[in-house]
Amino acid sequence: QVRLAESGGGSVQAGGSLRLSCAVSGYWPSRHLMGWFRQTPGQEREGVAAIYTGDDDTRYADSVKGRFIISQDAPNNTLYLQMNNLLPEDTAIYYCAARRTYGDTWLAPSLYNYWGQGTQVTVSS
């Protein structure tokens, strides 16, 4: 059983940066897909970034390419999301997730099995 806990959210002005952390306990998913997702009220959860922990291959949503970086620190059981040049439309609750299966559609929330509780990110203009 993988347990996930996000931290690092907060309030920033547009153009600022935040780094989200996801502490992983239970066991480190060494050959799994892990991802960051976000959700705003009334909207479906959307995939932001994903990483295959076996080889650090990554995928990003078009809306965050060039601004966000997903990374892993396996020895410290932590997943990160570095968010730069934040925009007001990045405001959301951010979740980390892990997936037991490997395949296509890395950013599809429905394919992920384990979720954290979320952390709020608010970007003001």
How many contiguous H segments (helices) and E segments (strands) does the chain have? 0, 11
Average pLDDT of the segment spanning 17-37: 91
Q: List, for residues 32-90, the tens digit of each pLDDT value.
A: 899 999 999 999 999 999 999 999 999 999 999 999 999 999 999 999 999 999 999 99
C-alpha 19/C-alpha 26 separation (Å) is: 23
C-alpha 55/C-alpha 85 separation (Å) is: 27
Per the CB < 8 A criterion, the answer to whether 116 and 95 are in contact is yes
Confidence at 102, pLDDT banded by 50, 70, 90:
confident
For the chain, the maximum distance between any two Cα atoms, rounded to a whole number of angstroms, is: 40
State what percent of residues in the chain have pLDDT above 70.
Answer: 100
> Among 64, 101, 58, which residue's Cα sits nearest to residue 79?
58
Average pLDDT of the segment spanning 95-101: 92
DSSP per position, 19-31: EEEEEEES---TT
